[in-house]
Structure 1
Amino acid sequence: MANGSRQAAWEFFGTELKRRREDAGITQVDLGSRVFVSGGYIGQFEQAIRKPQLDVAQRIDEALQTDGIFERLCRKLIDDPRYADYFAGVVELERLATKICEFAPTVVPGLLQTADYARAVTIAANPFKPDSYVDDIVAARLERSLILADATRPEYWVTLHENVLRIPVGGPQAMAAQLEHVARLMRERAAVVTVLSFGAGAHAAMNGSLKLMEFEDAPQVAYTETSFSGTLVDDPAVVKRAQRAYDLLRVAALSPEASLALIDSAAEDFRRCASTT
């Protein structure tokens, strides 16, 4: 489903939700209280500004007695072939989050990637896929990053392992542009980025990516990922442990100012390397 068609389908979801809600004589606030979100969120669902999670769609069906129509619509719309099955739900949660904290041990996080960097990562992981597949994956990744340009963007905190700054993904020129992009977002205060340097000792030996997401009307969740799978965790005890692990990494990282200087320096090194090749 093309991006425009997908948005049009979400708009249909919202229009149908409003119609069914009004036919039932229920206010946005009342429906929100029944499905455990705010009335404002119901309004944003109806305007297709935000997309509900699957469990919220299921509760809306129960509250409005709509025989599963919103669950079916939601399942269809979040079934995006551009994302792995285990990651599609994370994409929707990113759009709902008020705060995202992320640790990246080897590659620049998707929300910060440039097109050339995303293309290099995608081809490396899918060497036999056609250009059309790669183009779709890259487009999806850039689409995700638009949340950082939105007026209601989440707070975005990122800790990058120094590995991320040193591995020349896509070659020196692409890597220089990628690091300059991260530095630009830092200067524009779209993200707070710190670097876990090699000098951090045992902390620098940590592996596995980690993403923590907070929401206005829902509990915090954690997402962990390896090269081949990912796990979304909402168990409060496990999420608390993940938050502590992230906090320890962030404390061990360089300050934002020192991190920016290191990122600028690495970008300049790659830029010089590109000019000599």
Structure 2
Amino acid sequence: MHSISDSDVLRPLKSREQDGAWTARQIWRSQAVLKLWKKMDAQTRQLQDAVTNVEKHFGELCQIFAAYVRKTARLRDKADLLVNEINMYASTETPHLKQGLKNFADEFAKLQDYRQAEVERLEAKVIEPLKAYGAIVKLKRAEAELHIASTDVTRTTRHLEETIDNFEKQKIKDIKNIFSEFITIEMLFHGKALEVYTAAYQNIQKIDEDEDLEVFRNSLYPLDYPSRLDIVKANSKSPLQRSLSAKGVSGTGQVSTCRLRKDQHAEDDEDEEADFTEEEN
């Protein structure tokens, strides 16, 4: 942009002074116009600098935030693959481990739904407003060019002041809103993530290692083979329990022996009666 110099305004002034056609009032008015031109020139530069600065840094912010969102979306995709693999592996395992892994996979899949919502909100509340500043920058730059072309210096200066003020006010408000939305979205996601990971951790801790180990060991032996758990339980009985068990077995044996003896005596008596009858005949 061509800047206004003193010579641009005073050149016609000096030529008229030589002709003796300028009065003191006209000279004063010309100097006032010069000040207005300088002020307008400074304001125009300020607006252009502000627009250029926003164009540069908002563009960079938009690109980096967009990359951040893409990375988050890729993380969601990788997590979905992990969920599938965990479910496939769980189907091959022992009951408690299988259930624990499947519960973990369900919680982890739920987290990816929250991550998808995070991606969509970031795109709508952060990326799009930053993208919109491309059009805003073009509009403000066109306004600056229009003010420069205006011949009404006083009115142009006033409009430039309003334009610069409104642009700065809107920029600060938008930056505040964009970063507030970003923080809110991230806090919401991580709050949900904490809840989900807590539930997932509890599901993993509920896996009964001893029960699953017993299931695995039983799969190594025939069905009629006593399980290690039964052996351990038998060995863990107190001396009193073992004594009572032994007495019970012994008593049962004695009863059976007595019955056998009675039966034997009855049979002997029958044989003796049969022999006595034959002798009489």
Q: TM-score, normalised by structure 1?
A: 0.20
The structure with the greater share of residues assigned to helix is 2
Higher relative contact order (CA 8 A, sep 6+): 2
